Amino acid sequence: MTNILLAGFNGSMGKQVINLIDDHDELNLVAVYNPHIQENQKFDFLPENTRAFNNINEIDVNEIDLWIDFSSPDAVYENTKFALENGINPIIGTSGLSDDDYKKLNELSKGSQIGGIIAPNFSISANLILNFAKEAAKYYSDAEVIEMHHADKKDAPSATALNTAKVISAERQNKSENNDMEDSRGADVNGVKVHAVRLPGYVAHEQVLFGGKGEALTLRQDSFDRSSFMDGVLLAINKVAELKELIFGLNNLI
């Protein structure tokens, strides 16, 4: 039995994870955490014996194997740090970690040999695109990324699109050192342009466009429902205990 704490349990992704855990007998949701819930507040959608915490220091770390996080950008660093410091494998789907945050957490992870996964996107198709784009970038120097999400998504461009651009930039032969991402619905990541679309009706979609002499290559993935992310979450749950450090990107497990 794998005992799980879920942070950000009352959001859209959190509720999908609750359903995933409920569908698998080997998984047990022992606790949820959100610092903003009221004392003794009841949640009818939680399993009967699941404890709800609003104080991270009251959590019984000895009964938790995995910390799954779909909380908020302002909380994710401290949540991940808490999990690693207490010997709990973290699976992080919350955006907001900077490169410096990841470096510090990775050093902590290596020091304690507690593995974890930080994934900008848990869609299998989105992570396959990342691997395909990495291969294509060896042959095409010119590439752009278009990401399309629901109107309520706050970060633009998305962490998924920025990570895709970084992977492409690292592989292609003609590289740029320019980074322009501040206050923009688009970005320039080392010469790879990233475009963000925020519209009602969308969930999560990405296109990677490569252009060459007399030809073009387009990679595209579409997530039409948040349930599409659950196969990736389950993959992370099944693999994370084998890791000895913090891994960035679910594509590294595929």
CATH code, 11: 3.40.50.720
- Model confidence at 178, pLDDT cuts 50, 70, 90, reads low
- Model confidence at 251, pLDDT cuts 50, 70, 90, reads very high
pTM of the model: 0.85
- Model confidence at 95, pLDDT cuts 50, 70, 90, reads confident
What's the N-to-C CA distance of the chain in angstroms?
24
State the DSSP string of 159-184: HHHHHHHHHHHHHSSS----EE-TT-
Q: Are residues 74 and 131 in the same domain?
A: no
Q: Are residues 110 and 183 in the same domain?
A: no
Domain span at 163: 124-223
**176 has pLDDT over 60:** no
Q: According to the model, what pLDDT value does residue 174 have?
A: 65
Q: Are residues 113 and 137 in the same domain?
A: no
Q: According to the model, what pLDDT value does residue 41 have?
A: 84
Average pLDDT of every residue of the chain: 92
- Model confidence at 177, pLDDT cuts 50, 70, 90, reads low
Q: Are residues 80 and 151 in the same domain?
A: no
Give me the sign of the Cα torsion angle 48, 49, 50, 55: positive
Q: According to the model, what pLDDT value does residue 183 have?
A: 46
Q: Are residues 140 and 106 in the same domain?
A: no
Q: 108 or 153, which is more confident?
A: 108
- Model confidence at 175, pLDDT cuts 50, 70, 90, reads low
Q: Are residues 189 and 215 in the same domain?
A: yes
Q: What is the mean pLDDT of residues 142-159?
A: 91
Split into its structural domains, the chain has a count of 2
Q: Are residues 129 and 215 in the same domain?
A: yes
CATH of the domain at 150: 3.30.360.10
78-90 pLDDT, tens digit per residue, is 999 999 999 999 9
Q: What is the mean pLDDT of residues 124-135?
A: 95
**186 has pLDDT over 80:** no
Cβ-based neighbours of 253, under 8 Å, separated by 6 or more: 117, 235, 236, 239, 247
Point out the residues that are catalytic.
Answer: 149, 153
Q: Are residues 112 and 236 in the same domain?
A: yes
Q: Are residues 78 and 142 in the same domain?
A: no
**pLDDT over 70, % of the chain:** 95
Residue 211 gets the label, from left (phi > 0), alpha (psi -120 to 50) or beta, of: beta
Q: According to the model, what pLDDT value does residue 180 have?
A: 63
